[in-house]
Chains A and B, each alone.
Chain A
Amino acid sequence: MALWFSLATLVAIANWIATLISGAPSPMLHRFLSAYVRYVTHVVAYLSLAANPYPGFAGRPGYPIDVEIDPPARQNRWVTGFRLLLAIPAVLLADALVGFGTSAAAGSNVTSGGVLGTVAFLGWFASLARGRMPQGMRDLAAYAIGYSAQVNGYLLLLTDRYPNSDPAIYDSANVFRDDPIRVPVDDDLRRSRLTVFFRLLLATPHFVWFLLWTIAALFAGIANWFATLISGQSPSALHRFLSAYLRYQVHLYAFLQLVANPFPGFVGKPGSYPVDVEIEVEPPGRQNRWVTAFRAPLSIPAFLIASALTTSAYVAAMLGWFYALVRGRVPKGLRNLGAMELRYYAQTAGYFYLLTDRYPYSGPSSGWQLRLNPAPPPGAPQSAYPA
């Protein structure tokens, strides 16, 4: 890897000069750098347990998690000249997704592993125990690796197409799932510049309200735990209250993270916000008492992933903030990354609040895109990546 990196750095400089002069990468250098990007992808996939076979050293196509790279094409010289600068936002986001950099660079004592690092850490235990990687974790790792590969390809001038963080472009996202907690998105990407500029401050009354509601939800959550443990199902009143609280949380986070545009309401009313939470457990169903008893420790892995995803989503929100101030809209990729994070958070919190006993699904498939795509035909495969 170190040898590959040293060579790739030299070749990348040569490729940059060649592309600046001729307007297109040299085919030979393009081949070499493509092999490098593939090799890095294979190694990272192997290390993070996203793929099983030991990778080769030459970066040849055919690994279970692979990169498809277009042949060399003409590139805009201005975009080529300023490629390093232009890549900074994408590098920041890739860093948050893959990990090992951002928090340390910011002077934090705790180095976050990013989404990929967290998934790899949890996946290691899961793989040791069950002999297989959970599909959701594998698909999430593939998404993070895929975005990182796009950034590498952009930096190394393999393409001048800007990296796209939209999880929906991955096959693993386009699977049909029947999760009881879903986050449908009905948003047109338009953003008001004024509300974007003051977004954090505009949320101030919500912070106060959220704090008050959280105190009440804390007691409701404890009562719900005892009640569910005793009776085997959540009391309807507590279920409704905690559902509304979860919905309100997601509305507020969507507003803060620029995943949606309007100022949210204060009561978590269903269907009142473009990024909503659908909870298909009404009336509340029976839940396994053992799973209920140990719900808090069982939630820890999901909260770890949710935390890593939240970091990435806030990096996306920060980038989207600048973009929206200039363009009056947010990029679909950043919006969808935020929506994916909110969906996973909603499922995790819903599991923790005992709204459902279905464990959160960490893969990019979310339910939020189900409204964008038609329902799959009967008998369609559950995932493009067979587990």
Chain B
Amino acid sequence: MPAVALAAAFVAALTWPTDVPSQLGTPELDPHAFFSGSQIARAGDYAAFTSVNQVLSALVLVAVLVVYARRGTRFMRESAAGRIGTGMLLAMLGLALVWLAELPFGLAQLWWGRRYGVADLGYLEWVVSSWFALSGVFIGVCLTVLIVMAIAAVARQQWWLLAVPAFAAIGLLVAFVSPYLVPNVEPLRDKRIAADARRLERQQGLPRIDVEVQRAKQHTTEINAASAGFGPTRRVILWDTLLEALDRRQVRFVLAHELGHQSRDHILKTIGWSILLAVPSAFLVAVATRRRGGIYRPEAIPLALLVFVVLTIASTPVQNSLSRRFEAEADWVALETTRDPAAARGALVKLGDASLEDPDPPSWAQLFFGTHPSVMDRLEMVEAWRRESGWRRRTRPLAAGGPMD
């Protein structure tokens, strides 16, 4: 155990620091300087419903799993699949019940998104695609149950020590192949933006990374971009809505942000943190299921599912905090690379407006739902960078790569 704790502390110390100066004095900015009163009110209304819906959805999720943990073992009679197969069935049925219970909340969110013009998807289309998406979830959970129960057959109560490295390997594999699993993508055809990407890669010390465009505008008006994969599979994916809504300088900022995730190895660091969190989670699952004979036995699966989900929810603030740190660092890297705060401001305001993001959400909402810094936090960082950069410009020459226009 001390060795595990020591290794965890080492990984945490290695991955927690970022390039964002720790003493950065961010100014207090007024949202009204960037958004109209009606935009702020609209975003606030949208976010309020979304937050309440998410909280209720999480409560229902836990409630369903509590009931399932108590009564789910009765479904064992529906299986002729042996120990591991029955465990798989129980895990899938638990998630199927969760899907059923969460359906109204998903539909409510879709209704709200359609009402605010953020979502274009039809209700039936959403239900059907969500139903089919469950098959991917089932494969994932069955693989998990297979690994855990197979390890438990050998290691019994110590299964969690062996399971964590196995899941780390799977996590790495999934992250590695994930760029190939993104649907509706095509190569970036805009030669000027592609040339910008090449320059930004060089500035951030990256090898050539493919930039792809995902067709999203038939489903949503939101604008977004993502970074996926690592090593030779690295990709940056821009939504077509983003290319239509942002001008070239703003797209360049977004590109630099996404490349920042790659140059600072955020995907690998996130996996590292997931492993760190997985160690105590797996240990607690092992402890909780001992009463039912341990995870070796299929009747422990419903309880394991509940414990795992509760731990995941409980660790959400930690994961979100980590995610916000990495996003802030990517913003910082993008500012350092593009040295174009006006474009950064423009892009962030448009991103916030298109996604109806509350510019300055309450702290509790950020704690549980904020995977990115709030729009105002990001704008304040841009302003802080501008001031810092002005100060640096007076004292020392610019680093390589100035403004590109």
Contact = CB atoms under 8 A, between A and B. Distances in A.
A263 interface: yes
Interface string A232-252: 000000000000000000010
A147 to B, nearest CB: 30
Interface in B75-116: 75, 77-82, 85-86, 88-89, 92-93, 96-97
Given A202-B89, A205-B138, A205-B142, A263 B78 contact: yes
A198 B85 CA distance: 16
Interface residues of B: mostly helix, strand, loop or mixed?
A: helix
Interface core residue of A201, A251, A265 (most chain B CB under 10 Å): A201
Given A201-B131, A262-B80, A265-B85, A194 B93 contact: yes
A261 B78 CA distance: 7
A195 B93 contact: yes
A251 B82 CA distance: 14
Nearest to A200: B135
A272 B80 CA distance: 6
Contacts of B85: 263-266
B134 interface: yes
Nearest to B86: A263
Contacts of B59: none
Contact of A192 (B78, B80, B88, B138): B78
Given A192-B75, A261-B78, A263-B78, A202 B139 contact: no
A202 B142 CA distance: 10
Interface in A253-272: 261-267, 272
A205 B96 CA distance: 14
Counting from the closest, the 8 A-B pairs by CB-CB distance are A262-B80, A205-B142, A265-B81, A263-B89, A263-B79, A204-B135, A198-B96, A204-B138
A266 B83 CA distance: 11
B80 A202 contact: no
Interface in A192-220: 192, 194-195, 197-198, 201-202, 204-205, 208
A15 B78 CA distance: 47
A16 interface: no
A195 B82 CA distance: 17
A266 B131 CA distance: 24
B174 to A, nearest CB: 15
Interface in A337-362: none
11 contacts: A192-B75, A194-B75, A198-B96, A201-B96, A202-B89, A205-B88, A262-B80, A263-B80, A263-B81, A263-B88, A272-B80
A261 to B, nearest CB: 6
Nearest to A265: B81
B139 A262 contact: no
Interface in B175-221: none
A273 B79 CA distance: 9
B78 A195 contact: yes
Given A192-B78, A251-B80, 17 more contacts: A194-B97, A197-B96, A198-B93, A201-B134, A201-B138, A202-B89, A202-B93, A204-B135, A204-B138, A205-B142, A262-B77, A262-B78, A262-B81, A263-B78, A265-B81, A266-B82, A266-B85
A208 B85 CA distance: 14
A37 B140 CA distance: 54
Interface string A181-200: 00000000000101101100
Nearest to B143: A205
Contacts of A266: 81-82, 85
Nearest to B85: A265
A153 interface: no
A194 B75 CA distance: 9
A364 B96 CA distance: 37
Interface of B: 75, 77-82, 85-86, 88-89, 92-93, 96-97, 131, 134-135, 138-139, 142
Contacts of A267: 82
A274 interface: yes
Contacts of B92: 198, 201-202, 205
Contacts of A198: 92-93, 96, 134
A251 B96 CA distance: 22
A202 to B, nearest CB: 6
Contacts of B80: 251, 262-265, 272-274
Contacts of A192: 75, 78
A201 B95 CA distance: 11
B307 to A, nearest CB: 22
A99 B82 CA distance: 40
Contact of A264 (B81, B131, B138): B81
Interface string A270-296: 001110000000000000000000000
B75 A201 contact: no
Contacts of A273: 80
A272 B92 CA distance: 21
A176 B292 CA distance: 49
Contacts of B138: 201-202, 204-205
A261 B76 CA distance: 12
A262 B86 CA distance: 10
Nearest to B136: A204
A204 B139 contact: yes
A233 B82 CA distance: 33
Contacts of A204: 135, 138-139, 142
Contact of A262 (B79, B131, B134): B79
Interface core residue of A194, A261, A262 (most chain B CB under 10 Å): A262
A264 B88 CA distance: 11
A304 B279 CA distance: 55
Nearest to A272: B80
Nearest to A198: B96
A208 B139 contact: yes
A264 B86 CA distance: 9
A366 to B, nearest CB: 21
Contacts of A195: 75, 78, 89, 93
Nearest to B79: A263
Contacts of A202: 89, 92-93, 96, 138
B39 to A, nearest CB: 41
